[in-house]
Structure 1
Amino acid sequence: MYHRITPNPQSVYDRTPQRFRAELQRLARENYAPVTTAEYATGEMDVPAGKHPVVLTFDDAAESQFRLNSSGEPAEGTAVAILREVAAAHEDFRAVASLYITTPPFGGEHSGRKLRWLHQHGFELGNHTLDHPTLSARSSSEATHQIAEMQRRITREVPNAEVSTIALPHGVHPQPEKLARSGESEGVSYRHDAVLLVGARPAPSPFSGNFDPLNVPRIRSQGGSGSGSELGSTVWLDKLAADPARRYTSDGDPSVISHPADSTRTPAPGQEKRINAY
């Protein structure tokens, strides 16, 4: 989970361009392969054999994440530009991510053009609500309006975009919680395959019985020191490197779900026929 990419971090949610680049390079070295939240949530991940899927998510549609230069390309130093540079240097490290949109998107100016560029280049446009409120503090009708109206604005600019996942502002559900998954307001209906929380651990395999689409955890991008660092990305990547059996590792065949024959993990309902125990 990323927010601003800035040379002058103001909170634990910010990362410098240098540290962001270094983290992407580490992911590439350790055989992680980026997928979108939508691909993860539906299990439609065509990941090369031996690779580990990783979802890069960006909240708040900050201008430091993405803006276009005078040539119509991602501006140097932005998150999207850095991701594309790292991807170009590492085979199987796709330049894809899921960006969660609120208003104004990426600084506001030419926002439609920016959203269209992202969609055309394989980035997922997700919902982060219209005004970024704490949804539990709003009535059910206000909460559904916040979600539906943001979807309407995204699809108005990008008519063929499928807004199928949402990142909850502050990680807080509306009441009732199911309104984060689906709802309708003023003629706009929405349904999400995944509802993302703010923290603070790796998400389970979408083929696992532990997968809960209404409560998908994320790891905050953060170094190995400071407040909350024990839940941050550096610590978690160290843990997963030390215990690689905990990581989802692709068998290279999207039609099959492989796992060790002695595994005690329970598959999600409906996935039993795809299991390949080895």
Structure 2
Amino acid sequence: MNPKRLSVLLLAGGTAAAGAIAFSLRAQDRRFYLTEPVAGVAHAQTPATPAVDGAKLKANEIGRIPIVMYHSIDEPGTKYDAHGLNIHGETFRKHLTMMAKAGWYPMNARDIYIPEKLQAVPAGMTPVGLTFDDARGSQFRYKKDGTIDPNCIVGILESFHKKYGEKWPRAGTFFALPKSSYNPTPFWQAGLEKKKCQWLVDNGYELSNHSFAHKFMTPMNAAQVREAVWGCVRDIRKLAPSATMDTFCVPYGAYPKDKSTWDVILKDPQGQYKNLVAFKAWGDESYAPGDKRFDPRIVDRIGVDNGYFEAVYARLTKSGKLYVSDGDPATMTVPRSWQDYVSAHRPGDLPVTFYGEAKPKTTAKAKPKAAGKKKAAAPVAKKPKQP
């Protein structure tokens, strides 16, 4: 599973016509994931709140959002590798501690794309999506006495919730694979899979979709894509009927070559499933839902290859580009220097409050004309660097 190879696969694409069950997802239609009713979310009127001092908070509600991708920790018999697929438990604890100290607020992946949930992030904090692929054994393990192993991923997350309280809520998205000839029992303890899946759902975690068989989707047509997505929803809900199953993690990050089928990943023409977003494997920090560059079909995640998360973390915490909540559920606060990136279709159609000065337009000045010399070509204005 080579991430460099997969990034090439991810970029591979075509413009073939849509198949019989594919449909067009125009840019203006991408708002469906934000405006249609979402399971488990009450759409009530938001009470008035005091005015927000955006400058003091350094609020930026279209800033970048880190979504971090994990697989295994301390997996017995599995080599610790350079691609972050199996890391030391102490490394995982270190990452979570870094996030907590920086004021990152853990969220289920789906909640980042639901306006009421994202707007509930406490003032001054940065949402971070914690994601775990494949429903591996080290993610959720019961001991012989029936208690959760404190050294599995769920056990460690629970310990951080206990330590930090409201600043570290129970959160984490487990992209599951149903048992089949292709995959083992979810979380690898046969007979306990139903108990585990329902426990996650009952305790605030997200159980979601990593496809039916974890096959490369690159050559798939629309019908095959639909079966890969729907098969997982169908079988995981047999274990946990109330699982939301409305985010999707593309196996290997290898998207279908026929880009028209990407829309089928998000929404089933037959009405059996609908995904808020689809996630890549590996990448960098993602665009916020309110940024016009955001595409729900292809959302980045940060891998944990040896030293990579630490490097991204160091860059992000100094960049001034992170999403920072204003703490006000009724408005979206954005630095004026970012105003060109605000989407016309904002999460929940919230009003935007700008603060600070606009980013100056950068243009090159023409040099004085030299006497007796040929007139020089007009200088080209430099494009401002994107935030």
Higher relative contact order structure (alpha carbons within 8 Å, sequence separation ≥ 6): 2
1:262/1:135 CA distance change after superposition, 3 Å? closer
**Residue 29, structure 1, aligned to residue 97, structure 2:** no
1:5 is matched with which residue: 64, 73, 76? 73
- Deviation track 1:111-145 (CA, whole Å, cap 9, x = no partner) reads 11110000001111110011100012334323211
Q: For 2:90, which of 4, 18, 26 is the aligned residue?
A: 18
| Structure 1: stretches of 5+ with no match in the other structure | 225-231
**CA drift at 1:260:** 1.6
Distance between the aligned counterparts of 1:268 and 1:14, measured in 2?
38
Q: Which consecutive residues of structure 2, in runs of 5 or more, have no partner in the other structure?
A: 1-68, 179-184, 356-387
Q: Which residue of 173, 176, 179 corresponds with 2:255?
A: 173
1:74 alignment partner, one of 148, 155, 158: 148
Displaced runs of 4 or more, over 4 A: none
State how 1:115-134 maps to structure 2 within 5 Å: 115-134=197-216
Partner of 1:95: 170
1:106 maps to 187
Instruction: Answer yes or no: is the 8 Å Cα contact 2:290–2:342 preserved in 1.
Output: yes
Q: What is the number of residues matched between the two proteins?
A: 268
- Deviation, 1:148, is 0.5
2-structure distance, mates of 1:119, 1:206: 24
CA contact (8 A) 1:202 1:217 kept: yes
In structure 2, distance between residues paired with 1:161 and 1:172: 25
Q: Which of these two proteins has the greater Rg computed from alpha carbons?
A: 2
- Pick one of 182, 193, 198 that aligns with 2:276: 193
Q: Is the 8 A contact 1:223 1:235 kept in 2?
A: no
Provide the aligned C-alpha RMSD in A: 1.8
In structure 2, how many angstroms separate the alpha carbons of the residues matched to 1:247 and 1:237?
Answer: 11
Alignment-mate amino acid for residue 181 of structure 1: L
Cα distance in structure 1, aligned partners of 2:171 and 2:160? 11
* Residue 223 of structure 1: how far off its partner (Å): 3.6
Q: Aligned pair 1:233/2:305, yes or no?
A: no
TM-score normalised by L of structure 2: 0.66
Q: 1:71 to 1:267 in 2, by over 3 A?
A: farther
Are the aligned partners of 2:330 and 2:350 in contact in 1 as well (CA < 8 Å)?
no
Letter in 2 for 1:182: K
- Conserved? CA contact 1:173–1:180, under 8 Å: no
| Whole-Å separation in 2 of the counterparts to 1:277 and 1:120 | 39
Between the aligned residues of both structures, percent identity stands at: 25
Could you tell me the TM-score, scaled by structure 1's length?
0.90
1:227 counterpart residue number:
none
Q: CA separation of 1:70/1:234 partners in 2, compared to 1, >3 Å: closer, same or farther?
A: same
Secondary structure, aligned partner of 1:264: helix
The alpha carbon displacement at 1:171 in A equals 0.6
Q: CA–CA distance in 2 between the matches of 1:135 and 1:250?
A: 36
**Which residue is 1:85 aligned to?**
159
Give the aligned residue type for 1:189: Q
**3-state DSSP of counterpart to 2:124:** coil
Alpha-carbon displacement from aligned partner over 1:66-118 (angstroms, at most 9, x marks no partner)? 12234544212101111111222124012210010013311151211110000
Q: 2-side partners of 1:29 and 1:253: how far apart? A: 22
Q: Which residue is equivalent to 1:262? A: 337
